[in-house]
Chains A and B, each alone.
Chain A
Amino acid sequence: MALVHKLLNGTCILRKCPKPSVALYPFLGTRFADYCSSSLQKPAAVPGKASSQRKTEGDLQGHHQRDVALDITCPEEKPEVSFDKAIKDELKNHFWRLKDDIVNRWIGPEGRPLHEVLLEQARVVWKFRGKEDLDKWIVTSDKTIGGRSEAFLKMGKNNQSALLYGTLSSDTPQDGESSRSGYCAMISRIPRGPFERKRSYDWSQFNTLYLRVRGDGRPWMVNIREDTDIIQRKNQIYSYFMFTRGGPYWQDVKKKLYLYVFVRVYLKYKFLKVKLIPFSKFFFSNQGRIRDAQYQLLLDKISSIGFTLADKVDGPFFLEIDFIGVFTDPAHTEEFAYENSPELNPRLFK
Chain B
Amino acid sequence: MNPLILTIILMTVFLGTMIVMASSHWLMIWIGFEMNLLAIIPILMKKYNPRAMEASTKYFLTQATASMLLMMAIIINLMHSGQWTITKVFNPTASIIMTLALAMKLGLTPFHFWVPEVTQGISLTSGLILLTWQKLAPMSILYQISPSINLNILLTMAVLSILVGGWGGLNQTQLRKIMAYSSIAHMGWMTAILVYNPTLTMLNMLIYIMMTLTMFMLFIHSSSTTTLSLSHTWNKAPLITTLILITLLSMGGLPPLSGFMPKWMIIQELTKNSSIILPTLMAIMALLNLYFYTRLTYSTSLTMFPSTNNMKMKWQFETKQITLLPPLIIASSLLLPLTPMLSILD
Chain A positions within 8 Å of B, measured between CB atoms, are 104-110, 114-115, 117-119, 202, 204-205, 226, 228-230, 233, 236, 284, 295-296, 298, 300-301, 330-331, 333, 348, 350
Contacts and interface: CB of A to CB of B under 8 A. Distances in A.
B90 interface: no
B173 A204 contact: yes
Contacts of B171: 104-105, 107-110, 114
Interface string B120-160: 10000000000000000000000000000000000000000
Nearest to A333: B310
Contacts of B173: 109, 114, 117-118, 202, 204-205
Contacts of B226: 204-205, 300
B306 A119 contact: yes
A226 B50 contact: yes
Contacts of A284: 50
A140 to B, nearest CB: 24
B58 A229 contact: yes
A106 B170 contact: yes
Nearest to B54: A230
A68 B311 CA distance: 73
B51 A226 contact: yes
A118 B231 contact: yes
Contacts of A230: 54, 57-58
B295 interface: yes
A202 B177 CA distance: 13
A118 B228 contact: yes
Contacts of A109: 171-173
B2 A228 contact: no
Nearest to A286: B50
Nearest to B49: A295
Given A105-B170, A105-B171, A296 B54 contact: no
A344 B227 CA distance: 36
25 contacts: A104-B171, A105-B170, A105-B171, A109-B171, A109-B172, A109-B173, A117-B173, A119-B306, A202-B173, A202-B174, A205-B228, A226-B50, A226-B51, A228-B50, A230-B57, A236-B50, A284-B50, A298-B51, A300-B120, A300-B174, A330-B309, A330-B311, A348-B48, A350-B1, A350-B2
Given A204-B173, A295-B50, A350-B2, A229 B299 contact: no
Interface of B: 1-2, 48-51, 54, 57-58, 117, 120, 167, 170-174, 226-228, 231, 295, 299, 305-306, 308-311
B60 to A, nearest CB: 11
Given A204-B174, A333-B310, A118 B58 contact: no
A115 B228 contact: no
A57 to B, nearest CB: 66
Nearest to A110: B171
Contacts of B54: 228-230, 233
A348 B311 CA distance: 30
A106 B311 CA distance: 30
A66 B110 CA distance: 62
The 4 A-B pairs with the shortest beta carbon distances in the complex, nearest first, are A295-B49, A109-B171, A330-B308, A205-B228
A228 B295 CA distance: 29
> Which of B48, B117, B171 has the most chain A CB atoms inside 10 A of its CB?
B171
A301 B171 CA distance: 15
Given A105-B167, A114-B173, A115-B299, 17 more contacts: A107-B171, A109-B173, A110-B171, A114-B171, A114-B227, A114-B299, A118-B231, A119-B306, A202-B173, A205-B228, A228-B54, A230-B57, A295-B49, A296-B49, A298-B49, A350-B1, A350-B2
A28 B170 CA distance: 63
Nearest to A104: B171
Nearest to B311: A330
B293 to A, nearest CB: 13
Contacts of B310: 330-331, 333
Nearest to B2: A350
Contacts of B57: 230
B170 A118 contact: no
A238 to B, nearest CB: 10
> Which of B50, B54, B57, B120 has the most chain A CB atoms inside 10 A of its CB?
B50
